[in-house]
Amino acid sequence: MKMKRLGRDGPLVSDLGLGCNGMSLQKPRADDESVATLQAALDNGISFLDTADFYGMGHNESLIARAIKGRRDQAFLSVKFGALISHSGAFLGLEGRPSSVKAFAAYSLQRLGVDVIDLYQPGRPDPAVPFEDTIGAVADLIKEGKVRYLGVSEVGAENLRRAHAVHPVTALEIEYSLACRFIEPEILPAARELGIGIVAYRVLADGLLSGLLTGEPTGGNAHLRPPRMQGENIEHNIETVEFLKQMAAAKGHTAAQLAVAWLLSRGEDIVPLIGMSRRARLAENLAIPDIRFTAEELAALERAFGPGGIIGDRYPGFVMKFAAR
């Protein structure tokens, strides 16, 4: 796995990161297989492990602790905090007070079984707390040696600059994909100006870019389904993805592989997060960094996935108020 620098002055991390949330969401959970998958990823050079204290209410961090025991130096741990989730999985709000931030970090360190978190970041800004106060608490943790680098997640250009003014920001975790390009006009240029790396999540846009969907999903909570995955929107979007499927077939790859490879083509400052909880998918993902596009192919993808190519918001309305714009 190729390594790249995370941000202008940050650490070297793997070209791809592993988003670990799905390991705690699957029902029934398969903890032994998840741990084996994490270890296989590390064996093959995927060092960037992305988690949060609210993923499975600490379950996800405990999984990672099992996987990295005895091999801490092979893993780069990115941890989010601040989302309050009930036992049933309901969203209860955001918490960004400095005292809470430091308590969250103490519990994460214990669950992960480590002395320091590599990248620590609020999952969303708490609207009830000045963002500078939340960021200042992480800066304190860095001074104390409990955190190495500051990250932020799902913030716009203004909050990105506010955070960076308190302490240098190493990475911004934010949704970015062929199907979701809202960061390109303002947020991405601001990050590049400040030397902040981009950690891209939901890189397959809820499975839309996998090319496997034939209609509106029927599982899960329909109340939480993004508008881009509903009704006429999903019908239109599946038609757009058909172009990606055809290009992938012509190149001997899957649509999902091409979607992630496109992100890598957008710049050396982008680390896409792939999601997998089974070792069987590792070989497919390891092949992604070797995929190349011609100028003509990139131009064709730009035409297909430009404005109007994918329609519908990325989150339902009640969640969008907490999302970066």
Cβ atoms < 10 Å from Cβ of 279: 15
Q: CA-CA distances (angstroms) from residue 153 to 9, 18, 165, 244, 250? A: 18, 16, 16, 28, 36
pLDDT tens digits, one per residue of 77-109? 999 999 998 887 788 899 999 999 999 999 999
Q: What is the pLDDT of residue 89?
A: 78
pLDDT tens digits, one per residue of 116-129? 999 999 999 999 99
Rounded distance between C-alpha atoms, residue 186 and residue 135, angstroms: 21
Question: What CATH number is attached to the domain comprising 13?
Answer: 3.20.20.100
For the chain, what is the domain count? 1
Q: What is the pLDDT of residue 274?
A: 98
pLDDT tens digits, one per residue of 129-175? 999 999 999 999 999 999 999 999 999 999 999 999 999 999 999 99
Classify residue 131: in a domain, yes or no. Answer: yes
Asked if 40 and 22 touch (Cβ cutoff 8 Å), the reply is: no
Classify residue 324: in a domain, yes or no. Answer: no
**Residues of the chain below pLDDT 50:** none
Range of the domain at 271: 3-206+259-291
Q: What is the pLDDT of residue 222?
A: 77
Rounded distance between C-alpha atoms, residue 299 and residue 147, angstroms: 41
Classify residue 148: in a domain, yes or no. Answer: yes
Rg value, the chain, Cα: 19
Classify residue 222: in a domain, yes or no. Answer: no
Classify residue 140: in a domain, yes or no. Answer: yes
Classify residue 318: in a domain, yes or no. Answer: no
Catalytic residue positions, numbered: 55
pTM: 0.96
**Helix 231-251 crosses helix 295-304 at what angle (to 10 degrees)?**
170
Q: What is the pLDDT of residue 285?
A: 97
Classify residue 315: in a domain, yes or no. Answer: no
Classify residue 235: in a domain, yes or no. Answer: no
Asked if 234 and 241 touch (Cβ cutoff 8 Å), the reply is: no
